[in-house]
Chains A and B, each alone.
Chain A
Amino acid sequence: MMATYIATVNRLLSEKVAQIPEVVIYGENINTGSHLVGMTRNFKLERGGRILNVGNCEATHCGVGFGLMMGGATAVLFVKQLDFMLLGMDHFVNTYNFIRAHRERDTLGSFTIVVIVCNQGYQGPQSSFNALGDLCSLARVPGFMVTNQRDAESVIPREIGKPGFRFIALDQRLFPKEILSPDGVRAAEDSSVFQYSSGEDATIVCFNFSFPQGWTLQEKLAERGIKASLFSVNPVLSQDWDGIKESVLKTRRLVVLDDSKSINLLAYTLLHEVTRQIPSIQTVMLTRGLEVEFGVCSDQLQINYESVVQQLETGMAVARG
């Protein structure tokens, strides 16, 4: 039977929260209705845990999480939409800065925000914030995108309940679909980078929620005999990009995908670092660019796969002379 993305994520979340004593699970509509499109369904807590359906006050939810963390508790806030977290920015920056300046990590409890990115399109102008990296960047907070079975199985059990604060973001486009299950080659210790395949001809690096497109690109390249290494990168401070650089050193071709609408992309930093250290490589950047549609729209990073395949084929032909 097909395991959907949301069923897999929900299973991993319920298994994890059930193991944490005195955990506080809270959020709007988490224990009623659709349970946030199935994200929080069937949570069963033992050992003094609590599930709190709370009112519509997102800024307060964020501050409460930090208060719980300072009180030594484990808090997990579930949020329907990344846009709502814009109301909590004061706490991500100011409250967390106080904690980081003053408290040792091992004296703290844990605070994790698990948030859905409503990137399925046609949500309207006010429901399309998709740049998790921007939130992470302004407060220097680690963030983890869940895009497939491998990163879900790595990130959810490891990060929830860990001392300190982080975001885990889910991709609503993928909720009803069969979860992608790539083979894993390597995962960085801090989950900053995942490598899913190893190829000799091209290196594909995916940022934000572009992994499904990177996966598709890899398949289209394989159909034309081009073998690619596939990576995805999370907005975590200590980036372990050695594996990506080693790959580019071999392939001499770097394709970077980033579907976020930010104009401050971590992808640019990677591109700068790689091209500085490995000159004369072919690069292809697939991003939203500076022009984005603010009205109701499909809200996807549009990729002309055939064009990308042809660019790489041409590059390879030139390299062969």
Chain B
Amino acid sequence: MSAELTSQDQQMALEMLRVRYWQHIVNEDLKKKKFTVPIHCAIGHEALAVAVSRMMEPEDQLVLTHRNMAYNLARAGGLAQIYAEYQLSPSGPGKGRLGSMNLVCDSKGVAYSSSVLGNNIAVACGMALAKQVKSRPGLVIVFSGDGAMEEGSFYEGLVFSRTQRLGLLILVENNNMSMSSTISERRCGINMDKLCGSVGIPFHTFRGNDLFEYAPTLKQIRRSILEQQTPVCVEAHLGSINQHAGPTPGWPTDPKNISLERGLIVEQSDRDPLFVLKQRLGEPSFENLSSQVLSEPWGG
């Protein structure tokens, strides 16, 4: 890959590195208790965040969950605005009235974020239906998770969106964690392929945290949703490397320990999209781009 790095690839890689860098900055400031609002970092979600952001056209709308940081950062293209909202400043995209868990960025297509599990899929269905009724272009992308999909409203949303043939992309972030319990600790397995198949919704699985694989696949999926007028569901397996909320580490003996001093990569495994990126780019290119990002002022 390193030999074939196009300028577009390089740009994508830079975006992902920046989203990680900005999340590190927030995490460091969380350690210093600089915020009054509860903040859920999404370290580990960067590949999907950048791939979704690059897939989106201006007419598309993004509907997020409480763990929306990586996505808002990818869409905003900078930390300053998002940081301002976390500080409840009127200059934030929510004018300091939304805080973290409900943060949106209307000018960048982030239309709704919900802190209630399963709440957002119905709202996304309504937004997609509004597009259909008003003959407006584009699709709605809604995020769910392996916890939120346990809610009855997830199933209702699948049925409703398929029945009305809505332009909806349902992205399930499977981080095998709901607050502090894994899937096997709280429920039986759910075969998403069969669940979606039972209501006629095409289904895809993403594994491996590879931005260069996710980005083109998502563009194809976007096209198929609009051409075939059907919702599509993607289950993306990823790891939320940070603590559920607040800083990581969350307490002195926390086994999770994230520090910007140790560099942008947090885990030397494919749970960390930056580790995957490094494998893809090769160490020299990765270090080059990382140095560039780390030297950029973020506006804080």
Given A60-B153, A60-B160, A94-B116, are A70 and B123 neighbors across the interface (CB < 8 Å)? yes
B130, A109: Cβ atoms closer than 8 Å? yes
B163, A71: Cβ atoms closer than 8 Å? no
Q: Nearest Cβ in chain B — how far from A149, in angstroms?
A: 32
Contact residues in A for B217 (Cβ distance below 8 Å):
none
A64, B131: Cβ atoms closer than 8 Å? no
- Any A CB within 8 A of the CB of B33: no
> How many interface residues does B have (CB within 8 Å)?
35
Given A57-B159, A67-B123, are A90 and B133 neighbors across the interface (CB < 8 Å)? no
For the complex, give the distance between the alpha carbons of A258 and B112 in Å. Answer: 39
For the complex, give the distance between the alpha carbons of A69 and B113 in Å. Answer: 16
Given A24-B129, A71-B130, are A60 and B112 neighbors across the interface (CB < 8 Å)? no
Given A101-B98, A101-B102, are A91 and B130 neighbors across the interface (CB < 8 Å)? no
Q: Name the residue among B112, B123, B127 with the largest chain A CB count within 10 angstroms.
A: B123
- Any A CB within 8 A of the CB of B299: no
For the complex, give the distance between the alpha carbons of A250 and B129 in Å. Answer: 54
A63, B123: Cβ atoms closer than 8 Å? yes
- Any B CB within 8 A of the CB of A320: no
> How many interface residues does A have (CB within 8 Å)?
32
Contact of B125 among A63, A73, A98 (CB under 8 A): A63
A98, B102: Cβ atoms closer than 8 Å? yes
- Any A CB within 8 A of the CB of B114: yes
Contact residues in A for B157 (Cβ distance below 8 Å):
60
Q: How many A-B residue pairs have CB under 8 A?
A: 111
- Any B CB within 8 A of the CB of A162: no
Given A59-B153, A60-B153, A98-B112, are A66 and B98 neighbors across the interface (CB < 8 Å)? no
For the complex, give the distance between the alpha carbons of A243 and B223 in Å. Answer: 60
B133, A50: Cβ atoms closer than 8 Å? yes
For the complex, give the distance between the alpha carbons of A307 and B137 in Å. Answer: 66
B97, A101: Cβ atoms closer than 8 Å? yes
- Any A CB within 8 A of the CB of B49: no
Q: Name the residue among B115, B119, B131, B157 with the largest chain A CB count within 10 angstroms.
A: B119
Could you pull out 24 A-B pairs where Cβ atoms are within 8 angstroms?
A: A22-B133, A24-B129, A24-B133, A55-B156, A57-B153, A59-B156, A60-B121, A60-B122, A60-B156, A63-B123, A64-B126, A64-B129, A66-B123, A67-B124, A67-B128, A70-B111, A73-B129, A73-B130, A94-B115, A95-B123, A98-B98, A98-B113, A102-B97, A102-B104
